[in-house]
């Protein structure tokens, strides 16, 4: 039997992590109370501790530094392709002049 995957909002994840870190509740208890798996809550806590400001960016969203890296890679690919085209064109022109 197929089960649908649940999704949780950023606010829900942050609040769940805060219940563990600031609320004085155990991770297992919070997971039971919220009907989520403890390992999921543990992963959320780790992500939140690594970058509290940009934790849980959402589906299809990137963190600012990841977005910048992605844009730079795309630009590098484009520039590399342009360079390769120019190299081939120079080779063709050089052969015709001989």
Q: What is the DSSP string of 16-52?
A: HHHHHHTS---HHHHHHHHT--HHHHHHHHHHHHH-T
Same domain, residue pair 86 and 45: no
The reply to whether 14 and 55 lie within a common domain is yes
Number of domains the chain is built from? 2
Let me know whether 56 and 67 are in one domain.
no
- What are the φ and ψ backbone dihedral angles of 6, each rounded to 5 degrees? -80, 145
pLDDT digits (tens, 9 = 90+) for 43-98: 999 888 887 777 776 655 666 677 788 889 999 999 999 999 999 988 888 877 76
SS3 73: helix
| 1 inside domain | no
Per the structure, the complete domain to which residue 36 belongs is given by 8-61
Q: Are residues 67 and 22 in the same domain?
A: no
Q: Name the pTM for this structure.
A: 0.53
For residues 50 and 91, state if they share a domain. Answer: no
Please state, in angstroms and rounded to a whole number, the distance separating the CA atoms of residues 88 and 98: 16
């Amino acid at each position: 039997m197929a089960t649908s995957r649940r999704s949780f909002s950023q606010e829900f994840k942050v609040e769940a992590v805060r219940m563990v870190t600031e609320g004085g509740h155990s991770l297992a208890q919070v997971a039971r109370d919220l009907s989520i798996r403890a390992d999921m809550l543990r992963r959320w806590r780790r992500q939140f501790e690594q970058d509290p400001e940009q934790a849980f960016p959402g589906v299809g969203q990137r963190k600012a530094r990841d977005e910048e890296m992605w844009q730079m890679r795309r630009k590098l690919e484009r520039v590399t392709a342009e360079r390769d085209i120019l190299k081939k064109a120079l080779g063709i022109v050089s052969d015709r002049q001989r």
